[in-house]
Amino acid sequence: MSLLGDSGTRRHRTVRRHRLPLAVHDEARRAHAALLRLRSGAHDEEFRRACLADTAEWYPDMARTPDLVLPLDHHHDDVARRAKEAGELWPDLVVVPDRGRFLLAQLLWCPTAEHAQRLTELSTRAQRRQLALVGETAEREPQRAV
């Protein structure tokens, strides 16, 4: 078992109170339908392409800062390879009531509100294509059976 998969790690003991808002719906039924569309796998290739494009754009910006630390055996093509090989795309999506509406959100592994705010700001800046695609997918009307 990997360290990340071990249920005894701090990651699995962290209560996830914070979330990244992705879409807001007036009806629970519509929010749940959006959740099912995102999890269906029908748009996975689009999301993987968006992830790769966002990562390819963001990575050079990170590499120009002294804050980026990489393993000694790191190769620049690792970033693209990892984006293509991403596992389950939406494992932590939830629908929660929020001020009379229903929020489709990604749970965050953040222990503090300040950490969640920083992650939300970074996601908004670095994952523009992915978040736009989530919004478009979440707003689509469900397909009706004929």
Q: Compute the mean pLDDT over every residue in the chain, rounded to the nearest whole number.
A: 83
Burial of 40 (0-12, 13-18, 19+ CB in 10 A): exposed
Question: CA 127 to CA 100: how far, in whole Å?
Answer: 28
Q: Which of 14-18, 130-134, 141-145 has the weakest average pLDDT?
A: 141-145
pLDDT at 145 over 60: no
pTM: 0.76
From residue 5, alpha-carbon distances to 8, 34, 48, 104 in Å are: 9, 28, 23, 25
pLDDT at 90 over 80: no
Q: How confident is the model at residue 101 (pLDDT cuts 50, 70, 90)?
A: very high
Is residue 103 within 8 A of residue 96, CB to CB? The reply is yes
pLDDT value for 111? 85
Is residue 64 within 8 A of residue 13, CB to CB? The reply is no
pLDDT value for 27? 95
pLDDT value for 1? 44
Of 35, 51, 18, which Cα lies nearest the Cα of 127? 51
HSE, CB side, 13 Å, CA atoms: give it for residue 39.
15
